[in-house]
């Protein structure tokens, strides 16, 4: 086991390197099942969830390995459609393989997916959408999916689920006719998936809007392709809140903030000045927040992301004044708050909302992460606190941040990874 030992109170200065988006890379790995060739994913984060997804590809008969920061996937010889329980039980992203397996082999089988404990995360939206286009689903020790004659249809999602949108896109690329996915997710990661699928021969349009159109094709390409996913907007947002909580000056490439500028502007109303140095670099000059952030409600994209809710709360803990953070996506996603309160942070949870009354100082504490983004919030609080903090359970943090301790040290943070 490992933990972080963090000495807070340091302002942060320097250039921040943002990895490819975790939420793009995981469905792209699943989508490579469709290519029957080689896929090179550039700027791929070397995180735990990527490791598990590549092991899933290998378990199905494929190959996966890194060449520097490029992940190479060879899915030409895939020969299986049943996912091993020991892998699917570890990450929710394993569910993304169902759509491409249905398209390639006509069937898929898996146990319930794992992932962070952030409240109820059922798969019923996925199942309902797949059934709409003709997929049979049977529940048992394993959930089994079987493709019959898939017909293009108009499928209305009851909630704009990212995973269900992606699964339906991949399951319908070779359907007869045209599939319309209505009330779909609009995240930048959906656009990445559309662009990759079109690169291998699919005909998909509308990603980023309320309706995605999938025109079925007879076959997909098996050529070798290269793809660069969007920079991770959640990682960028995490560093923005880190800067606001600690003070200092951070540099971001223009592409790395492309999908996170509205987060910088939220902070900019309070705790930072945004300067575009040229067409390549943004400079964010931070001061610790002098007032609260008001009321922020999480919502599907383009709203405030639930994956940045804990980081915002941590930053609000040291912002003079009150901040109210309401989570309309995962109402139970406040399990981390009891750990943040060990620093002396004035936080109160009411149903699906957290009220933060900022303090000028919080103190170092021993905290333990139980989920990915809650763990990131503890790192922010520890870096903003006076004195030394211990953050345990950092395996959760490693699921979504590529060597975050190394990146933090490069900008002046005092963070050590300790084996225990």
List the catalytic residues: 116
CB within 8 A of 203, min separation 6: which ones?
214, 215, 216, 217
Q: Which residue has the tokens 């980023």?
A: 208
State the Cα–Cα distance between residues 250 and 261, nearest whole angstrom: 14
Phi and psi (nearest 5°) for 55? -65, -35
DSSP states along 279-329: SSEEEEEE---SS--EEEEE-STTSB-GGGHHHHHHHHTTSSEEEEEEESS
Instruction: Annotate 336-398 with three-state secondary structure.
Output: CHHHHHHHCCEEEEECCEEEEEECCCCECCEEECCCHHHHHHHHHHHHHCECEEEEECHHHHH
Q: Which residue has the tokens 């084996």?
A: 419
CA angle 368, 310, 49 (to 5 degrees): 70
| Token pair recorded at residue 185 | 């997710």
- Residue 81: how many CB atoms within 10 A of its CB? 21
């Amino acid at each position: 086991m490992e933990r972080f030992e963090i000495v807070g109170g340091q302002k942060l200065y320097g250039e921040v390197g943002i990895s490819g988006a975790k939420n793009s890379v995981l469905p792209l790995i699943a989508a490579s099942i469709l290519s029957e060739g080689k896929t090179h994913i550039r700027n791929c984060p070397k995180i735990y969830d990527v490791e598990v997804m590549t092991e899933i590809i290998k378990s199905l008969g494929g190959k996966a390995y890194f060449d520097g920061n490029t992940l190479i996937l060879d899915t030409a010889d895939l020969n299986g459609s049943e996912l091993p329980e020991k892998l699917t039980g570890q990450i929710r992203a394993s569910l993304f393989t169902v759509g491409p397996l249905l398209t390639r082999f006509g069937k898929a089988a898996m146990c319930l997916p794992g992932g962070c404990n952030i409240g109820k995360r059922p798969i019923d939206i996925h199942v309902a959408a797949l059934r709409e286009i003709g997929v049979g689903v049977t529940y048992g020790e394993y959930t089994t999916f079987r493709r019959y004659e898939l017909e293009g249809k108009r499928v209305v999602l009851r909630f704009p689920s990212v995973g269900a949108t992606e699964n339906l896109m991949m399951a319908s690329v070779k359907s007869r006719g045209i599939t319309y996915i209505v009330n779909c997710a609009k995240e930048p990661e959906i656009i990445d998936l559309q662009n990759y699928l079109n690169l291998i021969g699919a005909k998909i349009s509308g990603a980023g809007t309320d309706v995605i159109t999938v025109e079925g094709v007879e076959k997909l390409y098996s050529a070798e392709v290269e793809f660069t996913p969007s920079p991770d907007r959640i990682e960028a947002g995490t560093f923005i809140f880190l800067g606001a909580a600690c003070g200092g000056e951070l540099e971001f490439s223009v592409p790395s903030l492309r999908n996170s500028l509205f987060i910088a502007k939220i902070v900019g109303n309070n705790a930072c000045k945004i300067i575009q140095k040229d067409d390549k670099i943004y400079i964010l000059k931070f001061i610790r927040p002098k007032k609260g952030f008001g009321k922020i409600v999480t919502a599907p994209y383009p709203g405030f992301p639930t994956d940045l809710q804990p980081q915002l709360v941590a930053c609000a803990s040291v912002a003079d004044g009150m901040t109210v953070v309401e989570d309309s996506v995962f109402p139970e996603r406040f399990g981390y708050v009891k750990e943040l309160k060990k620093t002396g942070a004035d936080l109160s949870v009411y149903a699906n909302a957290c009220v933060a009354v900022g303090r000028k100082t919080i103190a170092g504490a021993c905290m333990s992460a139980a989920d990915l983004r809650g763990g990131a919030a503890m790192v922010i609080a520890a870096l903003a606190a006076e004195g030394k903090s211990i953050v345990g359970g950092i395996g959760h943090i490693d699921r979504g941040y590529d060597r975050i301790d190394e990146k933090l040290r490069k900008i002046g943070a005092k963070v050590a990874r300790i084996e225990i």
